[in-house]
Structure 1
Amino acid sequence: MAWFGGGQPKTHIQEANKHLAELYKKVEELEEQLRIKTSELHQKEEDFTVAMQEVHQKRKLELQELNTLIYQQNLKLQRLEREMSSRESELTVLRRRCRMFDEVLRYKATLGKLTITLEQAEQYARLTANARNYTKDTQNSDDTVNTEPAPLMIRDVADVDDSDVPNGYVINGSSSPSNSEPRLLKLTGLR
């Protein structure tokens, strides 16, 4: 009970007040630090939210670009498939033609012989056509040369017996009124 009656209570009160003032100051400092940390935390949360939105937007744009790229690649793939199908059909046609040409090449020698034979037949047709024109005054427009399948002379012949015609001669008939009788023509250049 010396406290009530002692001489040092004022010092204790001053020390206690000093101590309380320091505690109050410390509490205010801690509250200020808490406000700063809270403000920093809110700022970081806002920055994080903004960053997440940016990342989300960026990913969304990348996905759109990738989807566009996939769509374009699908279109390109479809075009290439159509071109490949077209080229395959062209290749099939070319293979068929190649087989046909191979078949033709197998008959090359035969075709060469056939060509020579056709040329000889054409020459024979010309010779038979020229043989009947051995004189200049014999002009009969009714005579024609048939070269298919074999060269034959077609002429307008009156009813004359061919058994009376000597070898190497042909009968030249004329349908003109001035010369109504058939004449014998000698074949030249033929064997």
Structure 2
Amino acid sequence: MKIIHTDIEGCFILEPKVIVDNRGYFFEGYNEHAFRELTGLDTKFVQDNQSYSTKGVLRGLHAQSGEHAQAKLVRVLQGRVIDVAVDARPDSDTFGQHVAVELSDKNQLQLFVPRGFLHGFVVLSDQVSFFYKCDNYYHKESEEGVIFNDEDLNIDWKLDPTELIVSEKDLILPTFKHLYK
């Protein structure tokens, strides 16, 4: 496994070593020892989640706050997305900045989203199966989020806004400045 550092401290892209032959491919999706050695983080994942979505579905930008904050290791099992992590740590030098990376079943990249970040993705392929490991349990009362098209964040979702399919709940989320004053 190879770690690719992003411009935001603590947010990493992981590139597995993929072994390809005439039967297909094999790779190790996660190895706690390798992850700790390469990142310096001692993250214990306690919950796995998986979602299925179709082209244009935008999920995000979401986080959990306080003691229920979550770090996530995300990847695509089938399809292609633009995955986004926004630094919402008020004391961070990169507060309000984001990392956007294409994750797909072709490139097998993963993104580590630290605690204190908002997270979201948009589906670029006809369909996607999206998988993520979390280091804390889901807690509904600790949910928070920011509207996906926040002007200050200026995220390029790579699709025309008319192509986006966004949940009612996500359409009424506050702006970044409103949530993180």
TM-score (norm 2): 0.18
Greater helix content: 1
Bigger share in strand = 2
Give TM-score scaled by structure 1 length.
0.17
Higher relative contact order (CA 8 A, sep 6+): 2
Larger radius of gyration: 1
